[in-house]
Amino acid sequence: MSNIDFAYPGFLYLLLLVPAIIAFYVLKQQKAFASVKLPGLKPLELPVKTFRNWLRHLLFALRMATVSLLIIVLARPQSTDRFQDVSTEGIDIILALDISGSMLARDFKPNRLEASKNVATEFISGRPYDRIGLVVFSGETFTQCPLTTDHAVLINLMREIESGMIAVSYTHLRAHETVLDLVCRLLLEKKK
């Protein structure tokens, strides 16, 4: 961690109130005890201060620490190691994944759906600069993830895909047409 900047440094001026509150507390504590001057009365001497006497101030100290930390949080500390402007070029890709019951066939290990998800995850990981979206279909279509460069989110959504997510669990020609319509619509939205 190198430099710490604050998004709202004006809030840090509130920290000046903390010493004032502490001073007020100390003055209040001094006035809490009556001061009676008696000459030479040894039995009336104040007892030695013990740990218990100091422990009663712990709650106030914790409150002041909490107030100080809340003020710092309000100022929103931010740290950066470095700034770097990177311009990259990528393409928009929509992955369409069939999640019908036929994808549970075991001609791939462990089944077609899991094999497809593994291949798609590898594909996504190998395309760092491309915007990738995900559409699932099984009789009907569903946009699982719109075009994004956040590949970690896309991979997490890919892992959550299961057969039967969509109520209709068969694939027919109409579903493929709907998938193509949805993919075209997602790609056209990007152009606007």
C-alpha distance from residue 41 to each of 15, 35, 36, 44 (Å): 45, 14, 11, 6
- Whether pTM > 0.75 for this model: the answer is no
pLDDT at residue 8 above 80?
Answer: yes
User: All domains of the chain, ordered by start, with CATH?
Assistant: 3-80 (no CATH), 92-191 (3.40.50.410)
Which pLDDT band, with edges at 50, 70 and 90, does 1 fall under?
very low
pLDDT, tens only, 113-146? 999 999 999 999 999 889 999 998 887 788 889 9
Q: Which CB contacts under 8 angstroms, 24+ apart, belong to 26-29?
A: 29/57
